[in-house]
Each structure stands twice: as C-alpha cells, then as structure tokens.
Structure 1
Amino acid sequence: MSFRITTLLFVSSVCLSSLALAFQNPTKPEAQFELAQQLALKPNPDSPSDVRYWLEQSAYHGYIPAQKQLAADYGRGLTGEINYSQAIYWFTSVALNDPTDSGFLLADFVQYHQAQVSKADLVESWYQLAALKNPQAEEAYNQFLEDRFNQLRAKQVSEIVDLDKKTIVQEEQEQVISTTQQKAEFLTIRYAAGTFCLAVLIGGGAFGYRWSSKRAHIHSASEVAKSQQLENQVNELQFANKQLKRQFEKVFKEFKQIKAQTGNQKLAVACAMFGYTPHSIPDSKTVKLRYRQLSKLYHPDSRGSEEEMKRLNLAFKTISQNVTKE
C-alpha cells in the first residue's frame, strides 16, 4: 500500500512538472500570446525582451492579436528597440489576414510616422512579407538587401575619404601647435632673461647711484650724465619687457585656442564615423553596440581592411573617453 502511494505521488509530481514546463514553453499561439501578456505585467529585469519574443512566436503562427500588439511594440519601442520596418511588416500582415482591419492600422501608422518611415522601410517590409510565399519576391528581396548594403558600403567609403582629408588637416594643425608651442617657450625664456637683466640693471644702477652721490663733490657733472643715461636704459628695457610680455600672452592664448580646436576636431571625426555628433553621444552600451555593428563592415574578414579597422578602433577609443555617464 505504501509503495502504491509513493508511486502515485511520484507520477503526479512528474505530471505537474511537465505541465509547468509546457506552460513556460507553450507551442500554441494563443498560449504564447497569453504568456507574453503575463510577462508584460511582471517583466523580468534580467531578460526584458521575453515579452517581444513570445509575441513574435505567436505572431509567426498567424495569431492576429499577437501581430497587432507586436507591430505596436516595434513602432513604439515598448519592450525593445524601435524598428519601423518590422512594425510595417506586421501591420501589413494584419491588413492581409484580418478582414475587419483591411489595412486601417497600416495606413494609420504610416500617416502618423511620415517623418520617420522611409520608402526603403516600406519596400523592405513588403518584400520580406511577399518572400514568404513568392520565390520571385524572395529573389527581389535578396537583391534589395544587397543593393542597400552596397549603398551603405559606398557611403562608408566616402566617409573614410573625408576622414582621411580631416586627418591631414588635423596633422597640419598639430604641426602648427608644435611650432606655436616652441615659439611660446622661446618667448618665455626671453621674457625671463629680460626680467633678470632688468633686475640686475636696476640693482646695479641703484648701487652706482649711491656710490656716485658720495663722490658728487668730485665728479658731479659726469655722474649726473651717467645717471641720466642709466635711467634711459632702464626705461627702454622696461618698455621692451612690456612688449615681450604682451607678445607672450597673445601667443599663449592662440596656442590654447588651437589646442582646443584640435581636440574638438578629433572628437568630431570619430563621431562622424559612428554617425553621431559631439553633442549627441549616447551611453556606453549604445556606443559598444554601434561599434560591433560597424566592425562587421570594417573587419578584414568582412570586406573591410586592417586600415579601416584601425580607424574604427581609434574612433571608438576617442568616443569612449567622451561618452555619456550612465
């Protein structure tokens, strides 16, 4: 009797475990959609994309409510990144499969996102949808993706050429900075030497003047002339010293301006390679994601070259030093 009870409890626990596992990994679109709703109410911070995943599973099985919610999710970025092309894809699927909709949601979405939705987004979505059942559309879709990649590649090559030109200008600016810095150092030495000479001359003049005063009764006329000459020399040296100081301050100011411009130029060049501006650098996570995407274009194993990859790494390092604090 005890053995039967134990066996029954064991079989029951196995069945319950199987049911729980089946609920967490449903295969029917209705159950997948329901699981997505439950996850949306209690999202998992360690895996925030679970909601979109189960919506996609249900939508790919043709469940209309899931397709509508998934399209809205892509359009508004509720549980992941915004993707207008995918939003149009699922709104189009709803238009084709839901007689009560007949394209209303698609038209409404395009109407209110005219500034964000491009013709390429529409073409990509419709080619992608048609390619599911039409071999000709699949071929056209592949050609579209290849053409778009070639356009992106041409744009990247053009930007690299521009970066090369900016690098040349940057090197010329650095040369100017080096020359200006040397000039500033030379003026600093001259300024220090002039100040020292002035101090020595004034000190020597004061001593000579006191000595000459004691002997004024012997050589009064001669000493007055020498004192006047010494005073004139001191005035000339003071005037030259002031001019030298103004020149030094002017050169130092120009040096700081050129140095600041060069630093901004380096950041601007790096941002241009990533598609940013110095005033719109996102957080480090987004920058790293863009770096991985660009690496697929620039890496030598992916139609790129070592030189292009080197530029990308340098740009990533420069941007990382100026990235937004998370």
Structure 2
Amino acid sequence: MYRHLTRINLSGLLVLTASWSCIAAPSVAQLEQLAASNDPQAQYQLGLAYETGEGVNKNLVEATKWYRIASDNGHQAARFNYAQALELGTGTKRNPSKAALLYTQLAVTGQNAAFAKLGNLYSQFDIEIPLEDQAVLWYHLASEDSPQYQDAYNQALQRQYNARQKRQVDALQQKEQQTLSAPLEVIDATPIKSNAPFPWLHLMYLLLIGILSALFITREFRRRQRTSASEQSTQQLRQQIELQQQKIKQLTKHIKIISERYQNVANDQPTSPDAQLQLAYARFGFDFADRQNLTIRHLKQRYKKLSRVYHPDAQGSEEEMKQLNLALDVILNRIKQNRKA
C-alpha cells in the first residue's frame, strides 16, 4: 500500500531516496540506531520495513508509528504514508479529518499526489477540521515564508490548545452528570478517556480508583444480599457506597478547579520570561511547593508521564507535544540558572 509512494512524483523526495539507494541497504538494526538518533529518512525506511516485512516481522502498527515520527520531522513521503494510514485505518484508528489536514499540508507544497486524496476524502466523508487547527496550519506556513507571522502563529497555537481544553472540560462535566445521576447498580467503572494534560492525570487515577471501589462495594452488597446478610450490614454497605460517590464528586470538582487555574495562567499571554515560566510550570502541574525543590530527574519523570497523554498515539497531537517540549526547555533553563546562582 505505502511502499509504492516513492514512485509518486513528490518533488524533492526522489533525490533524497536516490542518495540512499546508492549506498548498500542498511539492516533493520542499523535503521533502528539511525531512527533513534532522529534521522527522518531512517525512520521512514524503518516504517517501510515493518510494512513490507523485509528483514523484520511485518507489523503495520509499528510501520504507522515510524511514518508518523518521520512525518513529525518533516519527511514528506512519510507524511503521505501516515495520512494514508489515517485515511484507511491501517495500523491506527481511522481519522479522515486528520488525514485531510496532512494531505492539505502536502498539497500546499505542490505534492500532486495529495490532490486526488483530498478530493476522495471530501467526497466520501464529512470532514470536520476545527477552525483553530486550520488557523495553526496556515499561520505555520505563513511564518515559514515570513517571520512577521510568527506571533500570529503562536497565538493560533494558544487558541487551539484552549479550544481543546474547553472540549475536555465539557466532556468531563457531562461524564460527571451521567455518573452522579446513574443508579447504583449501573455505576460505570470504565476509565474516562481524556487528552487532558497533567495534573489531570493523577486526579483521573484517583477518580478511577474511587469508581472501581464503588463497583467492588456494590458487588459485595449484592453477594451479601444473596446470602441473606443482616440488615445492619446492608445499611453499612449503602453508607460506604454513598461515601464513595461523594469522593468521586469531590475529585471531579478538583479536576475542574485545576483546569480553570491553568486556563487563567494560559490566558495571560505569556510574553515575558517569567510569564512563560509560570505557564510552563502550570502545563507540568507543579505547584509552588514542587518548584522549590524541583530537580531535573523529577522533571524528566513528569515529562515521561505527560508524553503518554500528549503523544499523538495516545490521542494527543503534534502541537500539544510541541508545547510540552517548549515548557520542558523553559523549566530546564530555570533549573540550570538556579544551580549557577
């Protein structure tokens, strides 16, 4: 499916591919080493290897992952393959709207192969690309052509992030209403799927624990009913269930408060270094006490957890990962400055 992409007349790609073909084909182990060093061509070649099964067991999930990574690093052919995977649902969840956004990025650079792909997508699906995502795309292209659009691009990124935060808060509130209004017998113990950044993550874990505890108590209550438990034991179980529901309600309120707190920081337009630092701390979920004794090791541990939320494979996005990396750089610089002081 993807391996024939190099035959498509994508300007600028054939030269790069030809330069590699002049060298003896590297092994999968060599490709993995190069890919780990962030070599886009090696990442693309590794994706082809996993797709075709040449030198490695065929694995479309791994193939799509390496296409996505190479695409993030600007590899045009990999971007086409990743868009096609999203279009067809090969090795990843089907997402026609995101595929259309990637095809658009290729089309505006003159890649003719993307034209028909866009036509097919808009003919077959109801493509819904949020306006803030479109603004990020076009301002990004404009900023590459002229530095005067860099501020507009940064503001578009902020609006995109704020819009996604609002959708996440709305979804959480709706989930809270459904949970609190549901009968005890049908409390949903399914983890809430969210793209929200830390500090939501640890609170979501607590919320999940509370729901699972309520479910366990409910099952115990039923078991005791079947074995003719005493009325006193039944009443105690009911009280425990009510207590768990109160804890769940409190946790969801805490999540909302943290979201609003971060929103207030994000809306301050972080143009000064101090404002950027405060926003970076908020993005990582560090409170005032955390900042006093923050170490690089602690920071990297938090970054590893956050990456699992922001990463596109975890229903995050490329721009959210970019914002996370920018925040990491800001905090690292502050820690290094404090060490020198």
The TM-score, its normalising length taken from structure 1, stands at 0.43
Higher-helix-fraction structure: 1
The TM-score, its normalising length taken from structure 2, stands at 0.42
